[in-house]
Amino acid sequence: MPLDFRLDERVALVTGGTRGLGFEIARAFAAAGAGVIVASRHQEACERAAAKLRAAGADALGIQCHVGHWGEVERLAEAAEGWRGGVDVLVNNAGMSPLYERVSDISEELWDKVISVNLKGPFRLSALLGEAMRRRGRGSIVNVSSMGAVRPTADIVPYAAAKAGLNAMTAALAGAFGPEVRVNCIMPGPFLTDISSHWDQQRFADLARTFPLRRGGRPEEVAGAALYLASDASSFTTGAVIPVDGGGQWSQAGTGEPHGS
């Protein structure tokens, strides 16, 4: 049987799908034939991303959702299930890691936000959509964690904990939703997205020279792993956590995003 990387007649929902890795994943899924829903905190950004996908010939929809809020996640799941017969592929990609000076500066609010966006939201969305996929007899969930989950550093304590939780949840939900639904995870290393603009560029350039591939990733270079995991090409892969990191000894610095957003 030939390998099947196509997603024709499937609907994919990509959180954080308006830019960076999420948009490249959405674009690859659309090119593979999927109808694609992109979600992020900003309705205009969602509409712009969906319009770009439609301009390339895809069927696409944008839905505003802050994935750190349980109620918004429930509304997203309901709206996504109401579009073109329901979701076949979910990518829990939205994530963030605010900067802080010292570990003792991490407030309860910051801790809760990082855990909510990176772990709680993906859990609730997976719980709702995983059950729906299971009822329909097929589906694939792809989580996006970070190499920081397995190489945690002092500057990403809550983020590393949340992403390690996402890795653990991947295996647990593979058990909960199998055999109909597969659940896998990509662990990106350093990708040159908006996130990387907050890094110390000289430090990163020096470090990147030590990686086997000698550079940071281009955002589109995450799409192959995502398409593999979303499609039937990975039909015997579930509960897996796959590094896509250029082989480098690296974890992630904070995004510098304001804590209140």
**Interacting residues with ligand NAP between 227 and 256 (CB under 6 A):** 252
Instruction: Give the x/- contact pattern for ligand NAP in 86-105, rule: CB under 6 A.
Output: -------xxxx---------
User: Is residue 194 near ligand NAP by the rule CB under 6 A?
Assistant: yes
Among 122, 188, 246, 254, the residue binding ligand NAP under the rule CB under 6 A is 188
**Interacting residues with ligand NAP between 33 and 72 (CB under 6 A):** 40-42, 45, 65-68
For ligand NAP, the closer CB: 121 or 139: 121
User: Is residue 22 near ligand NAP by the rule CB under 6 A?
Assistant: yes
Q: Which stretch binds ligand NAP (CB under 6 A): 14-22, 74-82, 123-131, 173-181?
A: 14-22
User: Is residue 195 near ligand NAP by the rule CB under 6 A?
Assistant: yes
User: Is residue 226 near ligand NAP by the rule CB under 6 A?
Assistant: no
Q: Would you name the residues annotated as active-site residues?
A: 159
First to last CA, the chain: 48
For ligand NAP, the closer CB: 13 or 58: 13
Q: Which residue has the tokens 């890094």?
A: 199
Among 87, 117, 129, 225, the residue binding ligand NAP under the rule CB under 6 A is 117
User: Is residue 152 near ligand NAP by the rule CB under 6 A?
Assistant: no
User: Is residue 21 near ligand NAP by the rule CB under 6 A?
Assistant: yes
The residues binding ligand NAP (CB under 6 A) are 15-16, 18-22, 40-42, 45, 65-68, 93-96, 117, 144, 146, 188, 190-191, 193-196, 252
